[in-house]
Amino acid sequence: DIVMTQSPLSLPVTPGEPASISCRSSQSLLHDNGYNYLDWYVQKPGQSPQLLIYLGSHRASGVPDRFSGSGSGTDFTLKISRVEAEDVGVYYCMQALQATFTFGPGTKLDIK
């Protein structure tokens, strides 16, 4: 199975400041079709997870443009250009290259 790691695991951020989360996979997630099969999700307190980014860099419907995904192969980054109070939650990356999907351990973002 592909193993996913994330850093940092805890991320305190001042509102208005940028934030960045790194995700690494044990195998390349770059498919022959040119897409990276990597998603980002956020689980806000008391809520179900929600999709932020799919195929490495595509923002899901309704996701603010302050969220962006980048990277290729085994190294990926989720960036929030200006953190807002509503962005508090746990952020997960997940590989979808192999039909046996795997999540990262999660990064807890909170407000300083």
Please state the closest distance from residue 51 (CB atom) to another protein, in A.
5
Question: What is the rounded CA–CA span in Å between residue 112 and residue 104?
Answer: 24
Residue recorded with tokens 């790691």:
5
CB-nearer residue toward another protein: 16 or 45: 45
CB-nearer residue toward another protein: 55 or 66: 55
Contact between 14 and 110 under an 8 Å Cβ cutoff? The reply is: no
What is the contact surface with another protein in residues (CB under 8 A)? 1, 31, 33, 35, 37, 39, 41, 43, 48-51, 53-55, 58, 60-61, 90, 92, 94, 96, 99-106
